[in-house]
Amino acid sequence: MTNKKSGGLGRGLSSILPDTKEFEVSNTVTAAISTIPLDKIEANPYQPRKEFAPEALEELAQSIRQQGVITPVTVRKMPDGTYQLIAGERRCRASQLAGLMEVPAYVRVATDNQMMEMALVENIQRENLNAMEVALAYKALIEECRLTHDQLSEKVGKNRSTITNYLRLLNLPAETQLALSNDQISMAHARALAGVEDVTLHLEILHAIIDRHLSVHQAEEMAKNAKKKPVVAVKKRGELPAVHAAAQSRLKDYLQSSVEIKRSQRGKGSLTILFNSDSDFDRIMSLLETKGGK
């Protein structure tokens, strides 16, 4: 029996009554509650979360062993009789760990675009995604589902400036994005770094944040000071003239040892030959004496 709801169901399924068996989500998307074998559920190709912490999964599995799956997963039925996850991969994985053979599920009928939109929106709202996963999910919704920033803002319940801040993360250097994904820096740290366009200065501040455990305020101050200072190429001092550099290279090859030539602007300098042991010293001396004898 179909229980139609006028005006739709809003953003989620939390308003469904416990005895609801089937309901209309929109003119083209329907859903029903059922129990699905885990071996018939396929992973969601649009899942924004890429990694699942083993410890957290085991904790959820322990809870499921005691209380069962409280919140059903969301799937869509495929033509071959299998089901594809829309939301709930973490619950499915934990259920497998708990030894369950089947899970309760909301079964929806949806197109690929509708599935992608539902999967991304539901995961953004329900899962503890890291900032980069949220940013990539927002980008997918905008590009693949052809949503404007205003439409996305309405669907995920976030103001437009918040969405813009997340999308700016995708313009950060890869090393900064990785640090954010690995929780080495926070979203606030990343926002401070986003204002530093010079890549060299940007990465210097990033490394300082990680190595020295800088606060967000300290990172903001460093970024502010970096933007005030013009980027000036550092002139290398003590560069060897070509003839001396060539001689240094020849000596290294002949002696098979580290050789360093230093020369001042006035022509004075030093020649340093490194040795690793007494026998290495004797070897070098032998080569020098042989060369000198010739």
pLDDT (0 to 100) of residue 81: 84
Sequence-ordered alpha helix ranges (H) in the chain: 54-67, 89-97, 112-126, 131-144, 149-156, 160-168, 174-181, 187-194, 199-212, 216-228, 242-255, 278-293
Averaged pLDDT score across all residues of the chain:
77
Query: What is the per-residue pLDDT for 51?
Result: 67
Catalytic residue among 24, 89, 102, 175: 89
| pLDDT above 50 (res 206) | yes
Residue 214 in 3-state DSSP?
Answer: coil
Q: What mean pLDDT do residues 240-256 have? A: 83
Residue 55 annotated as catalytic: no
Q: Which residues pair with 76 in a beta bridge?
A: 84, 108
Judge if pTM exceeds 0.75: no
Q: What is the pLDDT of residues 108-138, one digit of tens each?
A: 777 667 767 776 776 676 656 788 888 888 8
Summarize the confidence of residues 142-154 as an average pLDDT: 81
Domain boundaries, the chain: 1-111, 186-228, 242-293
Per DSSP, 170 falls in state: G
- pLDDT tens for 51-101 read 677 888 899 999 999 888 888 888 888 888 889 888 788 899 999 999 999
For 271, other C-beta atoms within 10 Å of its C-beta total: 13
Token pair of 203 as six digits: 């990465």
* CATH for 1-111 (3.50.50.60, 3.90.1530.30, 3.40.50.1000, 1.10.3720.10): 3.90.1530.30
pLDDT at 26: 36
pLDDT-based confidence at residue 46 (cuts at 50, 70, 90): low
pLDDT at residue 4 in the model? 37
Residue 94, Cα to own-chain centre: how many angstroms?
23
**Paired tokens of 242:** 């070509």
Q: What is the mean pLDDT of residues 237-248?
A: 77
Residue type at position 173:
P
Query: Which residues fall within 8 angstroms of residue 11, CB to CB, at 6 or more apart?
Result: 121, 125, 155, 157
- Residue 179 corresponds to which tokens in the numbers above? 């640090």
CA–CA separation, 230 vs 197, rounded Å? 12
Q: What is the pLDDT of residue 32?
A: 65
Is residue 42 classed as helix, strand or coil in its secondary structure?
Answer: strand
pLDDT of the residue at 145: 74
**Residues forming beta bridges with residue 41, ordered by sequence position:** 83
Residues in the chain: 294
